[in-house]
């Protein structure tokens, strides 16, 4: 799947002739708090709900606004994971996508990006999750996979995240087994530090709760 496949073409965009009041109404209707301003396929700015609420004259056309300087964007050549970095960096609800000529293609929602993560890494399939804390020099996916195989466990997905203000890594491992006691014991025997474990439960509601807890832990 390419990043263009994540675009939701039904999401609206604004023009400079539109008012801040209209922008707020569209944001409310589509449950987002950002919208791009587009003129003839040119991406001019991304405005936020906060921008408009702080504007003294939201009934005026956006051409009169002074906050049209924010232009974060993803590009066709990017992997979706790179777009996720932009979402986190700027706290976006959508991200505009541009083609190689820097023309506007459409907008991608955070939900679509997260769905890509879960589908790519099998986080919604039944199984358990282990999160390790390791230094970069100690990280070896080959060794972790070998230890998992020794416990008849299949690794369905791995996410690596630099811990903020630290030289340590969080390694999030999705497995095909819900009972992780033997695997955790093996990892601890090899002196891996276990940050957390999440065992998948049987019903969809509990699975979603576990997934949401994981997303909060990863701060995505």
pLDDT tens-digit profile of 117-166? Answer: 766 655 556 788 899 999 999 999 999 999 999 999 998 878 888 887 88
Share in percent of the chain as helix, strand, coil (round to 5): 40, 25, 35
CA distance 57 to 20: 8
Structure tokens at 203: 């019903």
Map out the domains of the chain with their CATH numbers.
Answer: 3-116 (3.10.580.10), 122-218 (3.30.70.260)
pLDDT digit string, tens, across residues 82-117:
888 888 889 999 999 999 999 999 999 988 887 777
Contacts of 94 (CB under 8 A, 6+ apart): 11, 32, 34, 35, 36, 107, 108, 109, 110
Q: Distances from the Cα of 20 to the Cαs of 40, 94, 104, 159, in angstroms?
A: 20, 18, 21, 40
How crowded is the C-beta side of 100, counted as CA atoms within 13 Å? 1
Q: What is the pLDDT of residue 201?
A: 40
pLDDT digit string, tens, across residues 54-92:
999 999 999 999 999 999 999 998 888 788 888 888 999
Q: What is the mean pLDDT of residues 29-42?
A: 95
Q: Distances from the Cα of 90 to the Cαs of 46, 84, 86, 87, 131, in angstroms?
A: 11, 10, 6, 6, 26
Q: Distances from the Cα of 158 to the Cαs of 29, 60, 132, 213, in angstroms?
A: 36, 49, 11, 17
Q: Which helix (H) or strand (E) covers residue 114, if one does?
A: helix 110-121
- Decide: 47 and 14 in contact? Cβ < 8 Å: yes
CA distance 92 to 211: 20
CA distance 91 to 109: 12
CA distance 109 to 11: 9
């Amino acid at each position: 799947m390419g990043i263009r496949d994540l675009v939701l073409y039904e999401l609206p965009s604004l023009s400079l002739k539109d008012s801040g009041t209209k922008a707020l109404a569209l944001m409310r209707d589509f449950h987002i708090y950002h919208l791009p301003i587009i003129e003839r396929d040119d991406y001019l700015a991304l405005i936020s709900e906060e921008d408009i609420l702080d504007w003294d004259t939201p009934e005026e056309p956006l051409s009169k606004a002074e906050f049209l300087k924010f232009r974060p964007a993803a590009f066709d050549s990017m992997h979706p994971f790179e777009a996720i970095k932009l979402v986190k960096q700027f706290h976006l609800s959508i991200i505009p996508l541009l083609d190689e000529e820097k023309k506007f293609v459409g907008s991608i929602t955070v939900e679509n990006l997260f769905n890509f993560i879960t589908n790519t890494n099998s986080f919604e399939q039944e199984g358990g999750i282990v999160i390790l804390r390791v230094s970069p020099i100690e990280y070896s996916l080959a060794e972790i996979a070998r230890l998992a195989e020794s416990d008849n466990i299949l690794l369905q997905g791995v996410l690596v995240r630099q811990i903020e203000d630290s030289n340590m890594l969080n390694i999030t491992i999705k497995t095909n087994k819900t009972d992780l006691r033997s695997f955790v014991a093996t990892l601890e025997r090899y002196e891996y530090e276990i940050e957390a474990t999440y065992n998948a439960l049987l019903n969809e509601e509990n699975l979603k709760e576990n997934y949401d807890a994981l997303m909060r832990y990863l701060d995505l």
